[in-house]
Amino acid sequence: MRNRNFILLWCAYAVSALGDHLSEMAILKTQHALDVQVDITALNARMTFVFFLPFFLLSTASGVLADRLPRRALMVSADLMRCIILAMFGVLIAWTQDWGAWGVFLPLSLVGVFAAIFSPARSALLSTIVHPTDLARANGMISGLGIIATMAAAQIGGYLADNHEPTIAFRVDAATFIVSAVLLMFIVVPRTQTLEHEENKTSVLADLRAGFRYARSHRHVIEFLGVAALVWFCGPLVNSVLPAIVRDVYGGTYQDISNYRALLGFGFILGAILVSVIGNALHNGIIITWSLFGISASIAVLASSVILSRWGWQASTLATIGACGVVAAGLFAVSIMATFNSMLQRTVANRYRGRIFGVTDVCTVGALLLATGALGLPTSFRVDRWVGEILLVVSIITFAAGLLTFFVRLKRNCMDDAIVLVFCHLAQFISRFWWRMQRIGPATLPRTGGVIVTANHTSSVDPFLLHTAATYRLISYMFAKEHAEKPFIRWFAKKVECILVKRDGQDTGATKQAMRFLREGKVVGIFIEGGIVPPWEKGEPKDGVAMLALKTGATVIPAYISGVTYYDSMMLGFIMRHRARVQMGKAVDLSEFGGSKASRDQIRIATQKIYAAVQSLAPIESDEAKDHV
């Protein structure tokens, strides 16, 4: 909020979003959409199809322009052209309305041309004026305010359609683009970005090929593009059938249709707030997986309102059920798109960003055109009769996509148990969000082979912090048997492959199990000091880590945990907030100690070497003291 350039872009995008949707109800009014004999789903789908067709045809070229020309200037020019088109919109509709069923919507394609130029330039410009660590929140804030503007557009557009001629809405719409252009003019673009545009000497065709080649060569970009395309396929289907549901099931007017679109926008706002609050607390893939499940459930709720109407339920009750489904669908949909945008902005090199967002528009808008074309092209039957079935199909598709992404993550995390992966997702979220855990430096945990992770131990939350520092492998911890007396804890400990050990230090069974795990190529977590050590006491290392490493040949990875507050109660350690930091070090070289034939003295010396490696990762004394206050 202290970034002046971001505030200007934030507000300009909101005003532009207001203009993109302000005239929709007025256009529907020109077609008498509230008449029962009119197939409003087909009208709505055609309107969306025509507006977004230029995105599909021009987005890659627009992405190249965003990489070759000043992005702010492109956005200002696009706004001014949309202003001119909207000022003449009434004349254009009168000219094209006799050109068949699609004619009245064709002027929207002109607005779509300049919206297609605006979109990749805006997405690429954001990452040049906002610090990379703030991109998730910046995208959430932009999405939120943009959707507030969309809600306002729905309300204003519905009011104007109910009370005035369509030309009034078109003139108000034109004025919004003037305001957006003025705001954009005050953005100060960093000089380094201007120089990049000036030094670009390659051909346009070469830039286009480079953009597609870049996207194709990055696996995660391809996967996220697939998810974004799915959302853009399902979203327009829901948006297109919503007016028919409001009119035929809930008995609504233009204003009521606008109200439900505003509810969808309210869900978008909640999703944007959620993304802004969560920030980087969850991995992008985790957010997308659970958001897909959320979208599926939300659309199923909306579909139930249509199906229950056939059983005689009251319209007011059905309207409430539908409202809940619409809000929830908006929440989960914007969570996916904000996550997707921040991922691209963080990982794609600046010189490619415009083209990659152009490729994104091609993929997503192509999916949108497929969906709206399927609804808008048929003329032999009324699509309105099948809105409930359409929603059920969308719910099934998104649920299947959520399952697919979940099992992909299961495979990549080298896990065989879906329940364990769910617990891992929860542990990561709590660690990053509630305990504010950050990893200092890279994760040095090898992806294969037997490994011992060892660290200091000051709090009951330490195992979760170490897991979050390297989420790609499951760590099996030594776990005191007395803590596993309750059925749920015992079941959970077995699920995550904890090694139950007696406190007396004479549990040979646990030692053998740990050795077996390491020889099987698993990861075992052992706190080298044994139990939890209060910050005012000096810990003493135990020989177990060195003994297991030397006997099995396992790799030893040291780590240091700081920023957690010590509590006598284990439960308080979980409940209270921390500012946790985890730093992992390089593998400790134990080759000098003779492996499995090491003597007791050699094991003790190896223990001191491992402990020294752990302590070398500790922050400086002053910071450590502050962490424990």
Q: What SS3 string covers 437-460?
A: CEEECCCCCCCCCCEEEEECCCCC
Task: Name the pLDDT band for 144 (thresholds 50, 70, 90).
Answer: low
| Mean of all residue pLDDT scores within the chain | 79
Domain boundary among 388, 412, 436: 412
Task: Name the pLDDT band for 191 (thresholds 50, 70, 90).
Answer: low
The pLDDT value given to residue 507: 63
Are 581 and 549 a contacting pair, CB within 8 Å? no
Residue 556 sits at φ, ψ, to 5 deg, of -110, 120
List pLDDT tens digits, range 220-243. Answer: 777 778 888 888 888 888 878 888
Q: What is the CA radius of gyration of the chain?
A: 29
Kindly give, in sequence order, each residue whose CB lies less than 8 Å from that of residue 269, ignoring residues fewer than 6 positions away: 144, 147, 148, 151
**Which residues form the domain of 482?**
418-627
The pLDDT value given to residue 586: 92
The conformational region for residue 505 under phi > 0 = left, psi -120 to 50 = alpha, else beta, is: left
- Residue 453 pLDDT > 90: yes
The pLDDT value given to residue 9: 85
The CA distance from 512 to 509, in Å, is: 5
The pLDDT value given to residue 19: 76
The pLDDT value given to residue 560: 93
Q: Please state the rounded mean pLDDT for residues 20-45.
A: 74
Q: Please state the rounded mean pLDDT for residues 148-159.
A: 76
Q: What strands lie across the sheet with 451-455, from one edge to the other?
A: 438-440, 581-584, 555-562, 451-455, 523-527, 475-480, 499-501
Residue 531 sits at φ, ψ, to 5 deg, of -90, -175
Q: Please state the rounded mean pLDDT for residues 312-323.
A: 88
- Residue 542 pLDDT > 50: yes
- Give the CATH number for residue 357: 1.20.1250.20
The CA distance from 271 to 592, in Å, is: 55
Residues 527 and 600 in one domain: yes
- Residue 484 pLDDT > 70: no
The CA distance from 272 to 288, in Å, is: 14
- Residue 401 pLDDT > 50: yes
Q: Please state the rounded mean pLDDT for residues 390-417.
A: 82
Q: How far is CA 349 from CA 200, 213, 214, 343, 428, in A?
A: 14, 13, 10, 12, 28
Q: Please state the rounded mean pLDDT for residues 122-143.
A: 74
- Strand 451-455 and strand 523-527: the pairing is parallel
Residues 426 and 350 in one domain: no
Q: Please state the rounded mean pLDDT for residues 212-219.
A: 71
Are 75 and 121 a contacting pair, CB within 8 Å? yes
List pLDDT tens digits, range 236-266. Answer: 888 788 888 888 888 877 778 778 877 877 7
Single out the residue of 192, 322, 185 nearest to residue 250, CA to CA: 322
Residues 362 and 440 in one domain: no
Residues 176 and 269 in one domain: yes
- Residue 116 pLDDT > 50: yes
Residues 390 and 516 in one domain: no
Task: Name the pLDDT band for 143 (thresholds 50, 70, 90).
Answer: low
Number of domains in the chain: 2
The CA distance from 469 to 458, in Å, is: 17
Task: Name the pLDDT band for 584 (thresholds 50, 70, 90).
Answer: very high
Q: Please state the rounded mean pLDDT for residues 108-118.
A: 85
- Residue 194 pLDDT > 70: no
Q: What angle do CA 476, 480, 484 make, to 5 degrees?
A: 90
Are 456 and 571 a contacting pair, CB within 8 Å? no
- Residue 170 pLDDT > 90: no
The CA distance from 458 to 480, in Å, is: 16
The pLDDT value given to residue 252: 77
The CA distance from 344 to 225, in Å, is: 10
Q: Please state the rounded mean pLDDT for residues 142-168.
A: 76
List pLDDT tens digits, range 59-92. Answer: 777 877 887 788 888 889 988 998 888 888 878 8
* Tokens linked to 115: 């919206």
Residues 507 and 592 in one domain: yes
> Could you tell me what percent of the chain has a pLDDT over 70?
85
The pLDDT value given to residue 504: 62
**DSSP-based three-state secondary structure for 582:** strand
- Residue 476 pLDDT > 60: yes
Q: Please state the rounded mean pLDDT for residues 525-543.
A: 82
DSSP character at residue 311 = T
Higher pLDDT, 276 or 593: 593
> Could you tell me what percent of the chain has a pLDDT over 90?
8
The pLDDT value given to residue 279: 61
Task: Name the pLDDT band for 29 (thresholds 50, 70, 90).
Answer: confident
Domain boundary among 412, 441, 459: 412
* Tokens linked to 526: 């052992």
Kindly give, in sequence order, each residue whose CB lies less than 8 Å from that of residue 438, ignoring residues fewer than 6 positions away: 432, 580, 581, 582
The model's pTM is 0.62
Task: Name the pLDDT band for 197 (thresholds 50, 70, 90).
Answer: very low
List pLDDT tens digits, range 430-451. Answer: 888 888 888 888 888 888 889 9
Residue 561 sits at φ, ψ, to 5 deg, of -110, 125
- Residue 202 pLDDT > 80: no
Task: Name the pLDDT band for 506 (thresholds 50, 70, 90).
Answer: low
The pLDDT value given to residue 564: 87
Residues 481 and 400 in one domain: no
Question: Which of 1-15, 151-165, 487-501 has maximum average pLDDT?
Answer: 1-15
Task: Name the pLDDT band for 127 (thresholds 50, 70, 90).
Answer: confident
Task: Name the pLDDT band for 400 (thresholds 50, 70, 90).
Answer: very high
The CA distance from 548 to 493, in Å, is: 21
Higher pLDDT, 268 or 614: 614
Long-range contacts of 463-467 (CB under 8 A, 24+ apart): 463/525, 464/427, 464/430, 464/431, 464/435, 465/431, 465/435, 465/437, 465/561, 465/564, 465/580, 465/582, 466/525, 466/559, 466/561, 466/582, 467/424, 467/427, 467/428, 467/431
Kindly give, in sequence order, each residue whose CB lies less than 8 Å from that of residue 46, ignoring residues fewer than 6 positions away: 101, 102, 105, 372, 376
- Residue 625 pLDDT > 50: no
Residues 224 and 166 in one domain: yes
Q: Please state the rounded mean pLDDT for residues 582-606.
A: 85
The pLDDT value given to residue 93: 78
- Residue 485 pLDDT > 80: no
Residues 122 and 157 in one domain: yes
Task: Name the pLDDT band for 622 (thresholds 50, 70, 90).
Answer: very low
- Give the CATH number for residue 604: 3.40.1130.10
Residues 331 and 384 in one domain: yes
Are 589 and 446 a contacting pair, CB within 8 Å? no
List pLDDT tens digits, range 373-385. Answer: 777 665 556 777 7
- Strand 555-562 and strand 581-584: the pairing is antiparallel
Q: CA 251: distance to chain centroid?
A: 36
- Residue 199 pLDDT > 50: no
The pLDDT value given to residue 565: 84
Question: Which of 24-33, 325-334, 418-427 has maximum average pLDDT?
Answer: 325-334
Residues 16 and 135 in one domain: yes
Residues 435 and 380 in one domain: no
Task: Name the pLDDT band for 282 (thresholds 50, 70, 90).
Answer: low
List pLDDT tens digits, range 330-371. Answer: 888 877 777 776 677 666 766 666 667 667 777 887 888 888
Domain boundary among 355, 386, 412: 412
